[in-house]
Amino acid sequence: MLLVVGLGNPGTEYANNRHNIGFMAVDEIVRRHGFSSFRGKFHGELAEGSISGEKILALKPSTFMNESGRSVQAAMTFYKIPPKDVIVVHDEIDLIGGKVRLKRGGGHAGHNGLRSIHAHVGSDYARVRMGVGHPGDKTKVAGHVLKDFAKAERDWLEPLIGGIAEFFPLLVEGDDGHFMTKVAERITPPRPNAAHPNADDVPGADKNKES
């Protein structure tokens, strides 16, 4: 059994904030893989499903970001889920918009949601870090993450969320590297000739020539 946690703030006024990208991704995982409807539980909203033969619990804490750990701890305690079987999906200002990285263990880098989870259950869980960009000034970070995504950001936001949901089975199966590669390709598809950068693209060119 795995617990996947999306981080964000509850309420319609926050729904499209950059800080809520974790909620968005978990919603898409639930939708795409046919999970049950969300129901109120563990100071949050919980849905259940199965991916690659593994039972998955999807949790969106309703405690607001800086108290996310209370919700995560409650679910982990009830189902006896160890930290290594928890995956947290969250916004990451240290990555440019559209980039994704996977991290297992380590520090919280000042993220208030992760800080709360660290305090309640420790650090030995996995994180899917979804880049939302940095405003360039640390004093503007709070305003940046609590603003809605700009229209232009939708060009990478929708492929990013869709890719994480589509290829989430790879993460469930423990294939971290393949998961990140496939998500990245959804956002920036490789050029048709990328595998042979020196090949001649002119129609009718001899594809068998040596390079």
pLDDT in tens, 28-37: 999 999 999 9
User: Would you state the structure tokens that stand for residue 78, as one six-digit string?
Assistant: 């009830």
Contact by Cβ (8 Å): 28, 162: yes
User: Would you state the structure tokens that stand for residue 193, as one six-digit string?
Assistant: 């000739």
The answer to whether residue 19 is catalytic is yes
Assess whether pLDDT exceeds 90 at residue 202: no
pLDDT in tens, 81-133: 999 999 999 999 999 999 999 999 999 988 999 999 999 999 999 999 999 99
Quote the pLDDT of residue 191: 64
Assess whether pLDDT exceeds 80 at residue 207: no
Quote the pLDDT of residue 200: 44
Tell me phi and psi for residue 61, to 5 degrees. -60, 140
Quote the pLDDT of residue 190: 66
Catalytic one of 19, 33, 111, 144: 19
Quote the pLDDT of residue 205: 47
pLDDT in tens, 24-76: 999 999 999 999 999 999 999 999 999 999 999 999 999 999 999 999 999 99
CA dihedral 159, 162, 166, 171 (to 10 degrees): 90
Domains of the chain, first to last: 2-187 (3.40.50.1470)
User: Would you state the structure tokens that stand for residue 68, as one six-digit string?
Assistant: 């996310």
Radius of gyration of the chain (CA): 19
Assess whether pLDDT exceeds 70 at residue 194: no
Query: Which has the minimum average pLDDT: 93-102, 147-156, 186-195?
Result: 186-195
Cα dihedral across residues 56, 27, 93, 101: positive or negative: positive
Contact by Cβ (8 Å): 147, 29: no
Side chain identity at residue 9, one-letter code: N
Assess whether pLDDT exceeds 80 at residue 179: yes
Cα dihedral across residues 174, 176, 181, 185: positive or negative: positive
Count Cβ atoms below 10 Å from residue 72 Cβ, excluding itself. 28
